[in-house]
Chain A
């Protein structure tokens, strides 16, 4: 028997909207909605706006203290001195060996501290690691608070800015990766301009008891429709964004996953204070054994996660994610391969007895449309 699946505050609302509910990372969430479907929900996100319930993700509040700041500097390769209030960064919790415990978004709230959004599948592991690091660093681990009283709702797509700034006027002034807390008709909300689709969009942290009313008001406008986990996955893969458990794990480094851009230049040193700084700096300077690649299968047949990648008959890695791209109308995939394989080499994946040739390409598959002013 599996453990009981948790319900988000939008559970009844998903049922009313015809959500096809599935268990995901311990939560009951919609894969798609009746009357929509993965393809339609995906396309609607690229053309207008979609609402995703991402309340399963961990929302963690850390009050400001100098000792908390020192502990965070060990946990993440983030330059906290340049992360000013109202700004957010994509980063990761690293192991001492340079692997990735989880990827996350950290937002600075000035004197109030920091707000961190973690993956649902990893939040228990993450919190234990964060708390034990705090304790070891002499910081107050009991001050770390998981925000279970708030839902997290993502609105993504080109029509989002108009919809969200009509409810929260302050949202119009935010640029990509900026965040603000405001009082609104839905109570106190945190609005962050970020997302997981490659589109302009926002993630709204909102009190559980206000979430369904908020969702209902948004979809009252035909520009905004609900979308499920299926579309969320195909959208993020088109945008070339990594998924923990697929591209990222404790045995994969940020260098292998091509995430060095997220490590500030000042921290790309063996003596930087974050966990794993030395092995990561070594890989930045001398190269890593593997690298993430974007793949275009030269067939209508999608290649899927776990598929073995071959170069001239030799196994060189594996497919980490593979979907059919609704925007490009072809299969797309990510894989992790040996760096010895040339960037223009054609790879093969065996699918049901047939070799599918895959060309390497550049990321993202579909251009990002973040709002940078």
Chain B
């Protein structure tokens, strides 16, 4: 009698355990079970730098999918990954199967050439020499701006806490360094003054994140008084009424230009038509309007009026004004930031 009871109990328990495991397994394997999942459609693999996540996933991808469906009757899929521009560049060098990469800065594209991922500066053959859109670098401060920050110079004042993305992995961080430095030298300041400003800002950096987006999350979680970031980050939230901070437009700042590269060795002949159509679509008016809606400044300046939240920058400059990316990297990022500022702040 007693043994019978125990048997029932352990049998029940065992059935329960097995049903948990079988249930989990069934749930996990469901889309791949024969007869359930539809055949896998063709896919485009896109790697993009951090702040592109929303505009691509919610705007550009669905728009292209709809257009392609209307054009060819084929349903396609996007497979994507978004993180710091340097991170995705390193991943591509290591061999991730990216077909299209949207990098924050041309420098990362050049690194792909140096590492034999690309045969040469192939992006120059694309529209606008591969530049997809632009966004200036701005300062984000707490809503009431308690420290009265109005310029990059103010960020160098003692006692200001700055959140900065990490230049090792973030493209935005490299743009930010050029903005911090170039805003002095291109407006009549001496290299010494520019160095002093850069050093002052970096003394105040309290947190570094792997990407501009991650730095933004840190700032939102309460770190620091100011964040140097893409205007897009702030304008996009401003448009949705979700911005819990204040945008400070420096009198002079850099216009970041974002580069599209096609990674030919990862594009099979069967996929080429699709990938090329997608890249072409990126410069279409439809796509550029979506970028403007999400806070990027279009390469077609006439479209930018559509977003009322873009601020005014008195004296914008581009990396060309600093002698191009190779020059800017060697003379500003490497020679000054890496070799002088970093040792000085002890990082």
Do A and B form a real pair?
A: no
Which residues does A use to contact B, with CB under 8 Å? none
Interface residues of B (CB under 8 A from A): none
